[in-house]
Amino acid sequence: MYDPISNAISNAGDSGRTSTVLRQMLQQELTPDMQLPPMEFLMRLFGEPCFPRRELVAITGRAKSGKTFVISIVILMGLIRQALQFERDGDDPLKVMWFDTEQSQQSTLDIIQHRIVRMYRRAMGPDSTFPNGNLRTFNVRFENCESRRQGFRELVPYIKPDLVILDGIRDLVADINDGAEAQRIIDDMLSLAQANNCCIVTVLHQNKSGDSHDPRGWLGTELLNKAFDVFATEKLKIKDSQSTRYLFKLEQLYTRKYDISQDLYFEIGDDGLPFETDAPPMPVYMLATRMADDSAEEQPQLNDEYIVHHANGSWDIDVPKLFTEAFECNPTLTGSALRFKVKTLANMVTNRLYNNCLNKAMKLNLMKKDKDKNGTVIYELNVVKPQPAANPQQLELFEAADDNPPPPH
């Protein structure tokens, strides 16, 4: 039988190292008539597939922005079917491996016992038995860099997990700004995910300066280049006349395939556990972070045609008007087309502000979200008149500065 790989190697005339490399490369060849198995996703967020096997996923955020809470929820999703807006695909629980390089052993164990186990029992019943065998946790804070790296390489094929949480990948390299080392560790992670049919979720802090949400250093750059999805966390301080409370937001920054256009908002209850909450009404943007940065470049003003001004100087984006006019005479729009039209009409700079408006439009029942026969996300404008928005004067939002400054008064 004709073997194209063997034939190519014999024609190469080298049975040594070159032949081994050539064989490896030829095994990666794709042809037009080839059939590949479909990608397998471990879960969904707002109905969209995420956390695929054989791929890298990144979670990034500033310090104390809710990354560990999100990790806890993702771990929980390996054990139960649904929590917040996450839903696990498949009936069987996943085998999860958590490799913690940052926290003390006491802190890691406290998260397992008093957060993950309690969330599990909140979902499954107070007398339910936690599936200890499905979660393997390793705290390697006191190991050196090389030991962590080699230990991770050997644990993944030994444990054979479906889902791996690497918190954080920065502690597997000596220098976060060493480009060659960053490329090697990301290549290692991809090879491990491919060889062991698992999803590796890496955690890395965001850049400290400016408005960038990108993960830090050359390592962050390599991660952005190779990750299938990148999610970001953010902590929002909500203040009214009675109290101050905090919201946490999870948003998809980048994806290779499935856009998750809605952001997930959650709070921490008195019991210390997260629960889903609504997106805050379009608030007064104090822009404290931006105004403190004297080097920030001036950004375009929002289109005042879609701004509602209030007597106290606050303002709100007229989401119903903006999204209705974005549709014009079109009965439906794809997600990307809707984003382009809304941002163009309102003169928006960032996707963050657009996502806030989209979340509000969906909460107002302004649109229906569906998919066409090709699986593309589409939006259809509802004929039902939306409910009025909450009074934006009730809330002030700090520490959520957007790249758009307030509109002129």
Q: pLDDT of 50-84, one tens digit each?
A: 999 999 999 998 888 899 999 999 999 999 999 99
Which of these ranges, 37-46, 267-276, 327-336, has the smallest mean pLDDT? 327-336
pLDDT (average), residues 111-117:
95
Statement: residue 396 has pLDDT above 50: no
Q: How far apart are CA 96 and CA 74, in angstroms?
A: 10
Q: How far apart are CA 4 and CA 19, in angstroms?
A: 13
Residue 50 and residue 186 in one domain: yes
Within 10 A of 34 (CB to CB), how many other CB atoms are there?
7
Q: How far apart are CA 344 and CA 105, in angstroms?
A: 50
Record the pTM: 0.70
pLDDT (average), residues 356-380:
85
Confidence (pLDDT) at 335: 84
Residue 314 and residue 268 in one domain: no
Question: In percent, how much of the chain has pLDDT > 90?
Answer: 44
Helix, strand or coil, per DSSP, at residue 312: coil
Statement: residue 103 has pLDDT above 50: yes
Amino acid at 263: D
Give 355's contacts (C-beta < 8 A, 6+ positions apart): 251, 261, 262, 263
Statement: residue 300 has pLDDT above 90: no
pLDDT, tens digit (0-9, with 9 covering 90-100), for 161-204: 999 999 989 999 999 888 899 999 999 999 999 999 999 999 98
Looking at the domain assignment, is residue 346 inside a domain? yes
pLDDT: which is higher, 51 or 350: 51
Domain interval for residue 50:
41-276
CA torsion, ordered 65, 257, 41, 68, to nearest 10 deg: -10
Residue where a domain terminates, one of 243, 276, 309: 276
Looking at the domain assignment, is residue 167 inside a domain? yes
Confidence (pLDDT) at 22: 87
The H or E element containing residue 244 is strand 244-255
User: The tokens of 45 are what?
Assistant: 């967020």
Residue where a domain terminates, one of 244, 276, 308: 276
pLDDT (average), residues 347-372:
85
DSSP per-residue codes, 12-37: HT--SHHHHHHHHHHTT---TT---P
Residue 290 and residue 200 in one domain: no
Domain count, the chain: 2
Residue 243 and residue 269 in one domain: yes
Q: How far apart are CA 85 and CA 83, in angstroms?
A: 6
CA 270 to chain centre: 26
Burial tier of 162 (Cβ tally within 10 Å: 0-12, 13-18, 19+): buried
Confidence (pLDDT) at 160: 96
- Across 129-133, 304-308, 403-407, which has the greatest mean pLDDT? 129-133
Confidence (pLDDT) at 152: 96
Within 10 A of 311 (CB to CB), how many other CB atoms are there?
6
Residue 160 has, within 13 A of its CA and on its CB side, a CA count of: 1
Helix, strand or coil, per DSSP, at residue 251: strand
Looking at the domain assignment, is residue 85 inside a domain? yes
pLDDT: which is higher, 376 or 13: 376
pLDDT: which is higher, 36 or 322: 322
Contact (CB, 8 A) for 57 and 228: yes
Q: What is the mean pLDDT of the chain?
A: 82
Confidence (pLDDT) at 288: 28
Statement: residue 338 has pLDDT above 80: yes
pLDDT, tens digit (0-9, with 9 covering 90-100), for 144-168: 999 999 999 999 999 999 999 999 8
Confidence (pLDDT) at 139: 96
Helix, strand or coil, per DSSP, at residue 185: helix
Burial tier of 246 (Cβ tally within 10 Å: 0-12, 13-18, 19+): middle
Residue 259 and residue 310 in one domain: no
pLDDT (average), residues 1-22:
59
Residue 167 and residue 49 in one domain: yes
CA 93 to chain centre: 22
pLDDT (average), residues 216-244:
85
pLDDT (average), residues 311-339:
85
Statement: residue 10 has pLDDT above 80: no
Looking at the domain assignment, is residue 6 inside a domain? no
Residue 253 and residue 115 in one domain: yes
pLDDT: which is higher, 400 or 38: 38
Question: In percent, how much of the chain has pLDDT > 70?
Answer: 80
Statement: residue 4 has pLDDT above 90: no
Looking at the domain assignment, is residue 29 inside a domain? no
> pLDDT grade, residue 9 (50/70/90)?
low
Residue 183 and residue 61 in one domain: yes
Residue where a domain terminates, one of 211, 242, 276: 276
* In 213-309, alpha helices (H): 217-226, 288-292
Confidence (pLDDT) at 199: 97
E strands within 46-104? Answer: 48-52, 56-61, 82-83, 86-88, 96-100
Residue 257 and residue 366 in one domain: no
Contact (CB, 8 A) for 205 and 215: yes
User: For the CA atoms of the chain, what is the radius of gyration?
Assistant: 24
Query: Across the strands, what pairs with 251?
Result: 232
Residue 311 and residue 288 in one domain: yes
Which of these ranges, 224-233, 252-261, 265-274, has the smallest mean pLDDT? 252-261
Residue 236 and residue 295 in one domain: no
> pLDDT grade, residue 383 (50/70/90)?
low
Of the candidates 56, 116, 51, the one whose C-alpha atom is nearest the C-alpha of residue 83 is: 116
Residue 180 and residue 236 in one domain: yes
Q: State the CATH number of the domain containing residue 364.
A: 1.10.10.10
Amino acid at 124: M
pLDDT (average), residues 356-366:
88
Confidence (pLDDT) at 276: 92
* In 199-334, alpha helices (H): 217-226, 288-292, 319-327
Confidence (pLDDT) at 17: 55
